Chains A and B, each alone.
Chain A
Amino acid sequence: MTNQEKTWKEIAPAGVCSKSSTQYLTGDWKTYTPVRDPAKCTRCLLCTLFCPDGAIHWRPEKGDIEFDFSFCKGCGICANQCPTNAITMKLA
């Protein structure tokens, strides 16, 4: 906890969110991190669809996918779904 946190007198009741979920980084929850082998990856994008946190993005300018580790919770669903086993979960 930091000194920037608000006191009980300053926050809205009922836990009403004061900021968007995009500002609440959940990536530090993870134990395992997905590591992708670009050589095996066919860019089928199944992982981007299955990721429950929307933390894998298709970057058309790069013609490639990109993991957003600020939100990846390390659940491993992408690794499980990958048809070419291009993603493995590694202890971070």
Chain B
Amino acid sequence: MQSIAKQEMMALAGDQAVAYAVKQSDVDVVAAYPITPQTIIVEKFSEYVANGEVETEFVCVESEHSAMAASLAASATGARAFTATASAGLALMHEMLFVTSGCRAPVVMAVANRALSAPLNIHGDHSDSMAQRDSGWVQMYAENAQEAYDSIIQAFRIAENSGVLLPAMVGLDGFTLSHTLENVEALLDEDVKAFVGIRKLPNVLTHEGKNVPFRLDPANPMTMGPIALQNYYFEFKRQQEEAMKNALAVIQQVNREYAKVSGRSYGDGLVEAYHLEDAEVAAICLGSTAGTMKTVVDELRQDGVKAGLLRLRTFRPLPVEQIRSALAGVKAVAVMDKSMSFGGNGGPVFHEVRHLLYDTSSHPYVVNYIYGLGGRDTSPTELRSIYENLQRILQAGRVETPIQYLGLRE
């Protein structure tokens, strides 16, 4: 057993935990605009800057579009860049999210997941980041403040890996995690600094025929993200897909390495299975809901129900093989979506999970539960009813209502 690093127990809300992780991660540039429920991240980090506790350049931008533009620009020079946002802020970044991933700029961003207007709502759901699903960003969702802290540190290593070179967002549920005080074990500054290291830059061939580090540098000029028309655009997009595939292995590797330092790991880094070995009925969810869900699974297990849970820690890249293998023995699966795809056949997580199960031989029953929109609380009793429904489906041998709304007044 390898000894883990000394750590400090702190009382931190999720946002504070994120700010603290960024403080320790030797970040060169932070460009951010405050928006509820991400505000504390920006406030707290501004304090670090004002107090001289970090050497980071903090850019007070005038909008989230500018926040992402500045983060991309900083990252393109080879700097380590971080930003944070939520809801409408993330929506305003939409255009720049694609530019950032297309420029292969490994910006790390915390998203304090929040509903989108209208009607106006500041509370937690996944509508904001799910709407950016196809923007070419790695997406991870934290279960608690501790994981938010750990995932931010890991995200720099994942994003900056030369086989990945993609921006990464870490989601933490608005208010449920962002504003709730928890015990967080923080690594010492030097251990985080050693773990994230100095950003390494792969070499690329420039128009001058020089093989130089991949960054904007007047001494070795290069052009990133210029026009690529019918003859090359497609090839660049295919490269991004390959980078996503590479991220699957990198996320697992970083999860293992981080466990050696901190003693903490989150499943294999991609998915976290809870009592799935012999489970007959199982749910799949993202984020903080998994915490409540584990309690429910414990209770069901005490009652003799073979219940399990699969938490998707990483949504992009989608861990297809890991999900298939985790659900191999499960007979009925409930996929939980904290966002809606209006007019679609269920929520986004449901689309993808049921789709990947099409090619398996086990063919479990798969139902969708849309829940918690606009921060609506989801009780253990409601979550338990999901498993009870899965058991009814198994008994009946058919699914009557594949898409259900949990906790909605009908």
Contact = CB atoms under 8 A, between A and B. Distances in A.
A65 B44 CA distance: 62
Given A8-B238, A11-B239, A17 B207 contact: yes
Contact of A8 (B103, B223, B236): B236
Contacts of B242: 8
Given A6-B235, A8-B235, A11-B235, A17 B204 contact: no
A11 B232 CA distance: 9
B4 to A, nearest CB: 36
A16 B230 contact: no
Contacts of A6: 235
Given A8-B236, A8-B239, A15 B207 contact: no
B224 A19 contact: no
Interface string A14-37: 111111110000000000000000
B224 A16 contact: yes
A79 to B, nearest CB: 26
Contact of A13 (B104, B207, B230): B104
B383 to A, nearest CB: 43
Nearest to A26: B227
Contacts of B234: 8
A44 interface: no
Contacts of A11: 232, 235-236, 239
Interface residues of B, number: 28
A65 B225 CA distance: 34
A15 B205 contact: no
B226 interface: yes
B206 A15 contact: no
A13 B236 CA distance: 7
Contact of A14 (B103, B205, B227, B230): B103
Contacts of B37: none
B400 to A, nearest CB: 46
Contact of A7 (B165, B204, B208, B235): B235
Contact of A16 (B105, B222, B227, B238): B222
A10 to B, nearest CB: 9
- Main secondary structure, interface of B, reads loop
Contact of B232 (A5, A13, A20, A21): A5
B214 interface: yes
A7 B104 CA distance: 18
Given A19-B207, A20-B207, A14 B232 contact: no
Interface in B170-229: 204-208, 214, 222-228
B250 to A, nearest CB: 16
A15 B230 contact: no
Contacts of A21: 207
A91 interface: no
Nearest to B241: A8
A12 interface: yes
A1 interface: yes
B214 A13 contact: yes
A15 B204 contact: no
A17 B223 contact: yes
Nearest to B223: A17
Contacts of A13: 104, 165, 204, 214, 236, 239, 243
A15 B224 contact: yes
Contacts of A1: 230-231
B104 A14 contact: yes
Contact of B205 (A8, A12, A20): A12
Nearest to A2: B231
B102 interface: yes
What are the 7 closest A-B residue pairs judged by CB atoms, nearest first? A8-B235, A12-B204, A8-B238, A14-B104, A17-B207, A17-B223, A13-B104
Interface of B: 102-105, 165, 204-208, 214, 222-228, 230-232, 234-236, 238-239, 242-243
6 contacts: A8-B234, A8-B236, A13-B165, A14-B105, A15-B236, A21-B207
Interface of A: 1, 5-8, 11-21
